[in-house]
């Protein structure tokens, strides 16, 4: 009898702990998604009933007429903000009150993840942002472009040779794009040439695929990290496979050491990090701003201040890890979705090829240059529209770091306390017909010279908003443009009998994971 009484008491205490925040929004008069014990508003995510698009759209439309609503990240109350002006105010004007992301990974357990730019907080984040910012200016992109260009040219030559040798010209494009992005990351970040098309079993490609396969992370593990992050840290349980950390730690440490010993200079990310370690990396004022991509993030003043801090090797290695982690999966997904849109919109593909052909003819056999890539207006329109329709981060968060009272709607007040999160739904805003007529239509003309100035940096924010937006946007955009220049110069994209239209996505709550991939036929173009 005593056992059952104790069991009931324990069950009651667990229930009270699991629901003790569920009156949070009711007390504040905020409409909210009714939570369930422990899972909050995330039941559909746990049961894998929806993908990231469905999840964001459901949250956005549930209280469509309310600028702010509430949801529960398991037991944690989180504000969901859908009003562009409020988003702009909190992420830009009042940024000092909302400087951080909520991270559930402990830096003592997974330091390469937690000490990367995404995971850093407070002044340390500001200093690291300012340290890394000069590495992603236009002048540094010009230097790294030569490495990208070599990969693009080499890879398309390899593909042409394979097709001429009778190897099938039908590819699964996500896997295909991963090889491109991995080779660019390997050469631009680690100074290693791997040629994943000739050597698809290389260690970089295998470990990269394993690391970024979010669909295989057990859902119970994700729930526990969000629900009990302190316990997971005490148990030293890692979200990502330890093989990834060990491989990249050894690879990056060896590369750093070899560069410093031999004084090797390649104008890549590691060179720039070594300069940062010595305090020699400075923020250059860019020229040719008019040729920048419309989607590229403009660095804030935070990224331009001078830093007086000595970074450890581990902290710098963590930035390489973040670059690998973000660049491999995210950019290859954007490339795949761009290829998908070109398949569905052959007139766009043809128009883009006309522009590419003109650039190739003007080069008279010389190598492609950074300036010529940046000069392709229609290419930028196509890439910008792809990022509008398929933003890399569909849902973005911020955490309150200083108490703040928001006043809105002529008298309403909302008190943010330290530690409280809010989400803003980039995907849903990009697909709202109020802001984008016929939003499901792929229409690069939205970003013509006549139209693009009508879009604010909140209504169009594929790489986030404010000082905490993605630092690598220029690199990612340049990478996509360079690869598609070479692909469309050499090949036409055509659907195969296996191509799935419309695309379906794996039901994971964080990123786009294409279910079954995208099958594309690469048909060599004749001059």
Q: What is d(CA 404, CA 95) in angstroms, rounded to the nearest whole number?
A: 11
Q: And the tokens for 196?
A: 């994943």
Cα-Cα-Cα-Cα torsion 189, 194, 197, 200, nearest 10 degrees, comes to -110
Q: What is d(CA 71, CA 30) in angstroms, rounded to the nearest whole number?
A: 10
Residue 440 and residue 430 in contact, taking contact as beta carbons nearer than 8 Å: no
Residue 461 burial by CB count (10 A; 0-12/13-18/19+): exposed, middle or buried? buried
Q: And the tokens for 326?
A: 């973000």
**Structural element, H or E, at residue 239:** none
Residue 209 burial by CB count (10 A; 0-12/13-18/19+): exposed, middle or buried? middle
Residue 470 among known ligand-binding residues: yes
> How many other β-carbons are positioned within 10 Å of the β-carbon of residue 182?
24
Strands 170-172 and 519-524: antiparallel
Which residue matches tokens 């305090």? 279
Q: What is d(CA 314, CA 249) in angstroms, rounded to the nearest whole number?
A: 9
Secondary-structure breakdown of the chain: helix, strand, coil percentages, each rounded to the nearest 5:
55, 10, 35
Measured between alpha carbons, how far apart are the two ends of the chain, in Å? 87
Residue 438 burial by CB count (10 A; 0-12/13-18/19+): exposed, middle or buried? exposed
DSSP state letter for 72: E
271-296 CB burial, b ≥16 within 10 A, e <16 = bbbbbbbeeebebeebeeeebbbbbb
Tell me which residue of 430, 421, 434 sits closest to 457, measured CA to CA: 430
Binding residue ranges = 470
Binding residue ranges for heme = 470
């Amino acid at each position: 009898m005593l056992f059952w009484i104790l069991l009931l008491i324990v069950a009651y205490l667990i229930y009270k702990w699991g629901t003790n925040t569920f009156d949070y929004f009711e007390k504040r008069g905020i409409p909210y998604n009714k939570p369930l014990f422990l899972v909050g508003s995330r039941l559909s995510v746990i049961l894998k009933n929806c993908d990231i698009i469905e999840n964001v759209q459901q949250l956005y439309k549930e209280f469509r007429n309310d600028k702010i609503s509430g949801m529960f990240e398991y037991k944690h109350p989180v504000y969901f903000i859908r009003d562009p002006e409020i988003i702009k105010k909190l992420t830009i004007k009042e940024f000092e009150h909302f400087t951080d992301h909520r991270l559930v990974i402990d830096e003592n357990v997974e330091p390469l993840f937690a000490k990367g730019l995404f995971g850093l907080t407070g002044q340390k984040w500001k200093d690291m942002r300012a340290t890394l910012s000069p590495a992603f200016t236009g002048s540094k992109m010009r230097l790294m472009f030569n490495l990208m260009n070599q990969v693009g040219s080499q890879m398309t030559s390899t593909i042409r040779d394979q097709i001429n040798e009778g190897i099938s010209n039908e590819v699964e494009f996500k896997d295909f794009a991963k090889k491109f992005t991995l080779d660019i990351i390997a050469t631009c970040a680690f100074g290693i040439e791997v040629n994943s098309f000739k050597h698809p079993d290389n260690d970089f490609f295998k470990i990269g695929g394993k690391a970024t396969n979010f669909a295989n992370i057990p859902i119970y593990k994700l729930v526990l990290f969000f629900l009990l992050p302190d316990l997971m840290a005490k148990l030293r349980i890692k979200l990502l496979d330890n093989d990834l950390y060990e491989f990249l730690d050894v690879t990056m440490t060896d590369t750093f050491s070899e560069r410093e010993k031999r004084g090797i200079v390649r104008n890549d990310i590691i060179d720039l990090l070594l300069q940062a370690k010595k305090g020699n990396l400075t923020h250059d004022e860019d020229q040719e701003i008019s040729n920048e991509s419309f989607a590229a993030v403009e660095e804030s003043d935070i990224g331009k201040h001078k830093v007086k801090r000595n970074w450890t090797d581990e902290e710098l290695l963590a930035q390489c890890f973040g670059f690998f982690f973000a660049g491999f999966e995210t950019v290859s997904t954007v490339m795949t979705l761009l290829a998908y849109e070109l398949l569905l919109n052959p007139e766009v593909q043809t128009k883009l090829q006309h522009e590419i052909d003109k650039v190739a003819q003007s080069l008279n056999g010389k190598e492609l240059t950074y300036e010529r890539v940046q000069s392709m207006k229609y290419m930028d329109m196509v890439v910008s529209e792809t990022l509008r329709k398929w933003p890399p981060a569909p849902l973005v968060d911020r955490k309150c770091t200083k108490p703040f009272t928001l006043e809105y709607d002529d008298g309403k007040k909302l008190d943010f306390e330290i530690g409280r999160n809010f989400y803003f739904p980039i995907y849903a805003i990009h697909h709202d017909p109020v802001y984008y007529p016929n939003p499901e239509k792929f229409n690069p003309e939205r970003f013509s010279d006549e139209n693009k100035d009508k879009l604010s940096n909140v209504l169009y924010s594929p790489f986030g908003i404010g000082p905490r937006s993605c630092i690598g946007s220029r690199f990612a955009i340049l990478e996509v443009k360079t690869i598609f220049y070479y692909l469309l110069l050499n090949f036409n994209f055509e659907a195969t009998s296996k191509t799935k239209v419309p695309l379906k996505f794996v039901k994971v709550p964080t990123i786009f994971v294409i279910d079954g991939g995208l099958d594309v036929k690469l048909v060599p173009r004749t001059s």
